[in-house]
Copies of this chain bind each other. A is one copy, B any other.
Amino acid sequence: MSFPAPHHDHGPCVAHALQAAEEECRRRGARLTDIRRRVLELVWRSHAPIGAYALLEALGKAAPPTVYRALDFLLAHGLIHRIEKLNAFVGCAHPGHAHPGQFLLCRACGAAAELNDDSIEQAVRVAAQSQGFEISTLVVEAEGLCPACQGQHA
């Protein structure tokens, strides 16, 4: 999932993601309830990672646990990722495979792009192995400037 074109129509992306999530949940025998679907849709509508309390506000009349439970479900089924640096969440571009999150985060516009690069994971794995360390999960988050923002912000 690379950076979107500047004025790209995001609607179809959201619709596609929701449909993919439906299918993935059916495959797994998981229940994509109304709240969970609404949270997933809100996460996808935002190009930038979005925080739990922003989701809460967008949902209207919910309490924090409602949102966090939905997020936990979506995380557990690989439908979203958590960005540790930002305490925020983004839609997963490749639901269905378990995979580590590798992200490029634009510090100007906030947009996030998901990588899925084996050579990064390999490099970390090799370095870990040299210490006898056994990796279970890997966080890779690069902050910087996306192509569209590089002119404006040097």
A144 adjacent to B133 (CB under 8 Å): yes
A102 to B131, CA, bound (A): 13
A107 / chain B contacts, CB cutoff of 8 Å = 136
A123 adjacent to B113 (CB under 8 Å): no
A134 adjacent to B150 (CB under 8 Å): yes
Interface flags for A35-55 (1: CB within 8 Å of B; 0: not) read: 000000000000000000000
A134 / chain B contacts, CB cutoff of 8 Å = 144-145, 150
Residue among A2, A132, A145 with max Cβ neighbours from chain B (10 Å):
A132
A85 on the interface (CB 8 Å rule)? yes
A20 on the interface (CB 8 Å rule)? no
